[in-house]
Structure 1
Amino acid sequence: MSPAGFAPRQDSDWPDMVADMRAGFAGQLNVYRIMAHHPALLRAWGDLRTHIVQNTALGPQRAEVVILRLAHRLDCAYEWNQHVVRALAAGLDKGRIASLRGSLAQMTAPDATLAGAVDALVDHKRLAPAQLDDVVAMVGKTGALDLMATVGMYMTLGFILNTAPPDLEPAIAQALAQQAPELAV
């Protein structure tokens, strides 16, 4: 449960400054309902979120690999569980998803390249030149920048979620229980 001051904002308590955002992404997920305690931040977040979630050069499967590895590294149950369901919808199988919690050696080579980049950003705050070359060879310069931006954006969400953990949305919890209960954390 979230600390009392940071519980997800309900429709009846939704700020006027972001009233137009409630029917979209911001009203659909508890993390953004928490962020609604700072309407200006939520408003500014919208464009970056749209790019990272919908327009990333990584593509949906690679983006989910990056997000799941980061959720694992941040020990962020909400984000992990949320993205297990999204990863399944994007076409990742359960074994591939499960591997993202393990060592790079147990992943496919492309997933290990992406997960290794996440690990380097978390551990060293940068990609080494050879690692950047590997990422660029796989996803191009725009993909490499999108990978770094995805890690940055989801780290921020992870900080919020680990500080004020909300309940998982009922529809996501139900989908996770039906599709991949063995992957839930």
Structure 2
Amino acid sequence: MARISYPDPSHSAELWDAFPDMPRLHILEMLGHSAGTARQFGELSMAQFVDLALSPRSRELVILTTARNIECEYEWIQHEPISEAVGVTRAQRDALVKGQYDAEVFDDADRALVRFVAAIVAAPRIDDETFAAAREHLSNREIVEVLQVIGTYWTLGRVATVLDVELDPPSGTAVSDAFTRASRSES
């Protein structure tokens, strides 16, 4: 049971109006307590699914590495099917669970990315070697996008863990599909 009650659905009306196809996940419902920012947070999340230079596969490696390092089962469960749909393998997810960021299942770019993410989540500054390895594979834009994705999922992860948000069954690609449809309707 969550540590605080879920808000009245009317508190998140703006969020649901902006994303009518979005599954009603507990974590999104909980964001309704911050009615003044829920829609904007949803828009930021949507941009991370439809407007990044970072590939969807890399985005999911960032999200899963963040979820693992902040011990957020909720985000891990929701992103397993999304990551699979964009090409993250079971062996790669298993390596992430074990914190094996140098595993042979990753290519050089993946290893640099997941080590970069793990270092960022662990401390406010990272060493030059880790940054240089990431820089070999990521553009300036992608580096900033990685930081933004980490920030978004760190926030969602802490909402889930601090408030003990109940786990929802995996929603598959329903969230990413809803973001894609919403972005097309804005065009």
TM-score by length of 1: 0.79
Deviation, structure 1 residue 63? 0.7
The residue that corresponds to 1:104 in the other structure is 101
Picking from 39, 44, 49, the partner of 1:43 is: 39
Evaluate the alpha carbon distance shift between residue 136 and residue 164 of structure 1 in structure 2; reply closer, same or farther with a 3 A threshold.
same
Q: Deviations over 1:72-93 (max 9, x none)?
A: 1111110011111111111222
Is the 1:70–1:118 contact (alpha carbons within 8 Å) kept by the matching residues of 2? yes
Task: Give the aligned partner of residue 114 of structure 1.
Answer: 113
Runs of 4+ in 1 over 6 A off after TM superposition: none
Corresponding position of 2:135 = 136
Q: Deviations over 1:28-72 (max 9, x none)?
A: 332111001111121221332122222222211111111101101
Q: Give the number of aligned pairs.
A: 170
Gaps of 5+ in 2: 173-187
Q: Contact (CA 8 Å) 2:78, 2:169: kept in 1 or not?
A: no
**Partner of 2:97: helix, strand, or coil?**
coil
Q: Which residue in 2 is equivalent to 1:85?
A: 81
C-alpha distance in structure 2 between counterparts of 1:63 and 1:165, whole Å: 25
* Greater Cα offset, 108-117 or 161-170: 161-170
2:50 is aligned to 54
Q: Which runs of 5+ in 1 are unaligned?
A: 174-185
Look up the match of 1:151: 150
Higher relative contact order (CA 8 A, sep 6+): 2
Matched letter for residue 171 of structure 2:
I
> Which range moves more in the overlay, 100-109 or 76-85?
100-109
Structure with the higher fraction of residues in helix conformation: 1
Does structure 2 conserve the Cα–Cα contact (< 8 Å) formed by 1:31 and 1:166? Answer: yes
Match of 1:74 among 70, 74, 78: 70
> Take 2:73 and 2:132, find their aligned partners in 1: how far apart are those partners?
31
Q: Rate the CA distance shift 1:122–1:104 in 2: closer, same or farther, 3 A.
A: same
- TM normalised by structure 2 equals 0.79
